[in-house]
Chain A
Amino acid sequence: GESVGLHLPTLSVQEGDNSIINCAYSNSASDYFIWYKQESGKGPQFIIDIRSNMDKRQGQRVTVLLNKTVKHLSLQIAATQPGDSAVYFCAENDNGYSTLTFGKGTMLLVSP
């Protein structure tokens, strides 16, 4: 598949480890945040979201943490699997019309 970024930050982990992917956002008015996963040659796929009135939200094997004080968002993936290998994007929304602003992305590589 096509590469979506040659100079992305990369996180390499072993299968079974927990992964933490970080994202810094710039707009203090943002009130909604989403994590997307993009596999090679595919479109971004929704993983989990969080609103600014929360600081933590859990899904299946994933947890998103939001620290509004330092404008930081993180995605934690428990028991990382090779199928989790992808580029992960955080996105923020601040105008209520779902015009998401995406971060640059982080490539997660999971070794068996």
Chain B
Amino acid sequence: DSGVTQTPKHLITATGQRVTLRCSPRSGDLSVYWYQQSLDQGLQFLIQYYNGEERAKGNILERFSAQQFPDLHSELNLSSLELGDSALYFCASNPGTADSGNTIYFGEGSWLTVV
């Protein structure tokens, strides 16, 4: 158990809908990362937050957005869903400070199926 908690574990929704995935980082971690894992694209970095502020952006679609709240939990919002958005969405966290190292710790993921 990495200490990173993600909900829901599984979600099935229809095209065009909007969903919110939730992540609680490890205790004490200030940085949260979101990754998408699909069968054909592997693990793709979406976005990183540090202490409530966006720090880095990867291959995140405009239909997707994220935020990190004062209690450090994060949400990933996926809207106007398409079939191709079906994937595993992982949250990861680490302390985010320069002396804390670069390793990130993953949650168990949220499996999204768009039908």
Which residues of A are in contact with B by a Cβ distance under 8 Å?
2-7, 32, 34, 36, 41-46, 49, 89, 93, 95-105
Q: Are B107 and A43 within 8 A (Cβ)?
A: yes
Stretch at the interface among B13-21, B60-68, B71-79, B95-103: B95-103
CA A6 – CA B39 in complex, angstroms? Answer: 7
Taking a contact as CB atoms under 8 Å apart, the answer to whether A4 and B37 are in contact is yes
A-B contact pairs, 13 of them (CB 8 A): A2-B111, A4-B88, A5-B42, A36-B106, A42-B108, A44-B90, A89-B43, A96-B102, A98-B31, A98-B104, A99-B56, A104-B42, A105-B43
Task: Return the 3 tightest CB-CB contacts between A and B, nearest first.
Answer: A43-B106, A102-B43, A98-B102
Number of interface residues of B (CB under 8 A): 33
Pair A105/B104 contact, Cβ less than 8 Å: no
A22 to B110 Cα, complex, angstroms: 29
User: With the chains together, A97 CA to B59 CA distance in Å?
Assistant: 16
Would you call A101 and B45 a contact (CB within 8 A)? yes
Q: Are A100 and B107 touching (Cβ within 8 A)? A: no
Closest B residue to A49 using CB positions: B103
Contact yes or no, B94 A98, CB < 8 A: yes
CB of B48 within 8 A of CB of A97, answer yes
Complex contacts, A2 vs chain B, CB 8 Å:
88, 111
Q: Which of B37, B90, B102, B108 contacts A93 (CB 8 A)?
A: B102
| Residue ID in chain B nearest A96 by CB atoms | B98
